[in-house]
Amino acid sequence: MSDIKDTVADFKSGFVAIVGAPNVGKSTLLNQMLGEKISITSKKPQTTRNRILGVVHRPCSQLVFIDTPGIHKAKRPLNIRIVEAALSALGNVDIVLVMVDVANPDPDSEDFLVKKLNKIKHPVVLALNKTDLVKKPVLLSIIDKWAKAYSFEAIIPVSAILGDKIEELIDAMEALLPKGPPFFPEDTLTDLPERFFAAEMIREQVFRLTGQEIPYSTAVTIDSFSQEKKGDLVKIHATIHVERMSQKGMIIGKNGSKLKMIGTEARKEIEQMVGIKVFLKIFVRVHKNWGKDTKALRKFGY
């Protein structure tokens, strides 16, 4: 009995905000730490727009990660809200995990981030990502530069895409956690509903399958999400919102080919998530300049 009490007394738990410039690999890292995909990824920057929560369970600890949108100097109303969402996470966590892309540095965003870090009082860990793309002497000079820029609790070089040094990174954060009971049951991976992830998986395919401008002018809403009584099929009706009629044509494609491709790839991802067959119907609607419309931003969840 005393062993059980000692284990509970020694248990550690806390919230960790993952922050960094756009496209440094925050979502890939979160998925890697969880061993499951809950955060969408693409090669385009600013793929993540909302704060995504993921829970890592360890024998003596629980780390609750918040994957935040990329921090950058924003001008567009949508991007300003995105950055505000990321920065708001910094004040309500136990640890801040900063991610930097060593292969493609972004000095402006990095300087902006360091200024923000100087205002917080939580311990900060630095993950230098994409180490598989740079040579060791370059990496050593980057480590030296960051060690002089800020007083980090730990600096860990990682490769999120390959899974290198991920356990070492989690160990460094676990050591900084305060003592306390778990926040979530052992089987909890995230606190967000399946319909949220269905919308994100559709938006991910828009990012991956359309041109440079289109993804940033789209939002996805789930109009209905229901499971058949037999439990062997999920029916989803979704809408991709665009800002201009010309964008609608690009999303739909010739004879509906592009929309069909988006739907097929998204359906595969959603089926993997829910574990059963999915019927997915996607509509495309024009909501003129929604990215500058405060009411529309609220309606679409930003």
pLDDT in tens, 97-125: 999 999 998 888 788 888 878 888 889 99
Helix (H, G, I), strand (E, B) or coil at 244: coil
Map residue 11 onto helix, strand or coil: coil
Tokens 């990329």, located at residue: 70
pLDDT of residue 290: 77
Q: How confident is the model at residue 44 (pLDDT cuts 50, 70, 90)?
A: very low
**Bridge partners for 236 per DSSP:** 225, 280
CATH fold of the domain at 194-299: GMP Synthetase; Chain A, domain 3 (3.30.300)
Q: How far apart are CA 160 and CA 86, in angstroms?
A: 20
pLDDT at 258: 94
Token pair listed for 185: 């049951």
Higher pLDDT, 217 or 12: 12
Encode pLDDT of 50-71 as tens digits. 566 889 999 999 999 988 766 6
The C-alpha R_g of the chain, in whole angstroms, comes to 20
What letter would DSSP give residue 71?
P
Tell me if domain 2-174 and domain 194-299 are identical in fold: no
Which residues are registered as beta bridge partners of 55?
64
Q: Tell me which architecture the domain covering 2-174 has in CATH.
A: 3-Layer(aba) Sandwich (3.40)
Q: What is the pLDDT of residue 76?
A: 60
Cβ atoms within 10 Å, residue 154: 17
At residue 232, the pLDDT reads 86
**Domain residues of the chain, as ranges?**
2-174, 194-299
Structure confidence at residue 50 (pLDDT): 57
Work out the burial of residue 253: count CB atoms within 10 Å of its CB; fewer than 13 is exposed, 13-18 middle, 19 or more buried.
middle
Residue 4: pLDDT over 70: no
Pairing of strands 52-58, 12-20: unpaired
Instruction: Determine contact, residues 49/97, Cβ cutoff 8 Å.
Output: no
Structure tokens at 271: 């089926």
Confidence of residue 271 (pLDDT cuts 50, 70, 90): very high
pLDDT score at 236: 94
- The pLDDT of residue 2 is 37
pLDDT above 70 (res 82): no
Tokens of 267: 């359906």
Tell me what percent of the residues of the chain surpass a pLDDT of 90.
45
The distance from CA 203 to its chain's CA centroid, rounded to whole angstroms, is 13
Q: According to the model, what pLDDT value does residue 45 have? A: 43
Please tell me which residue, 226 or 291, carries the higher pLDDT value. 226
